Amino acid sequence: DAKTTQPTSMDCAEGRAANLPCNHSTISGNEYVYWYRQIHSQGPQYIIHGLKNNETNEMASLIITEDRKSSTLILPHATLRDTAVYYCIVSNTAGGTSYGKLTFGQGTILTVHP
C-alpha cells in the first residue's frame, strides 16, 4: 500500500472549518483514500473514503486532487468533540482475498479550541 504523509498536529477554532491535508504521491490506480479518526481511548471511527471523485457525507467532505497525489479532509463546522487523531490511509480494496487491511501511520492530532 502507498504511504501517506500528514502534519503531526493542527489546531482549529470551534465552529470553523478544519482542513486536514494528506499527501499520497505514490498512490496507484486501484487504491482508495480512507480517513479514520480516533478519539482518546476509543476504537478508530470511519469517516469517509474515495477513489477519484470528491465525496461528502454527514460527517465530512473529501477533496482528492486530479492527479490523486494528495487529498484534504474537511470538517465544515468543527466542534470540541472533533478533537482526535485523524488518519489518512491508502488501501487497495479493489477486490480479491489479499486486500482490505489498513496501514495506519501516525496521523494528525487535531485540537479544536473553544
Partner 1 sequence: DTGVSQNPRHKITKRGQNVTFRCDPISEHNRLYWYRQTLGQGPEFLTYFQNEAQLEKSRLLSDRFSAERPKGSFSTLEIQRTEQGDSAMYLCASSLVGGRGYEQYFGPGTRLTVT
Where on the chain is the footprint of partner 1 (CB under 8 A)? Answer: 32, 34, 42-46, 49, 51, 85, 87, 93, 97-107
The minimum distance between CB 36 and partner 1, in angstroms, equals: 8
The minimum distance between CB 104 and partner 1, in angstroms, equals: 3
Q: What angle do CA 9, 16, 5 make, to 5 degrees?
A: 30
What's the CA gap between 19 and 23, in Å, rounded?
A: 13
The minimum distance between CB 30 and partner 1, in angstroms, equals: 11
What's the CA gap between 45 and 48, in Å, rounded?
A: 10
15 versus 46: smaller Cβ distance to partner 1: 46
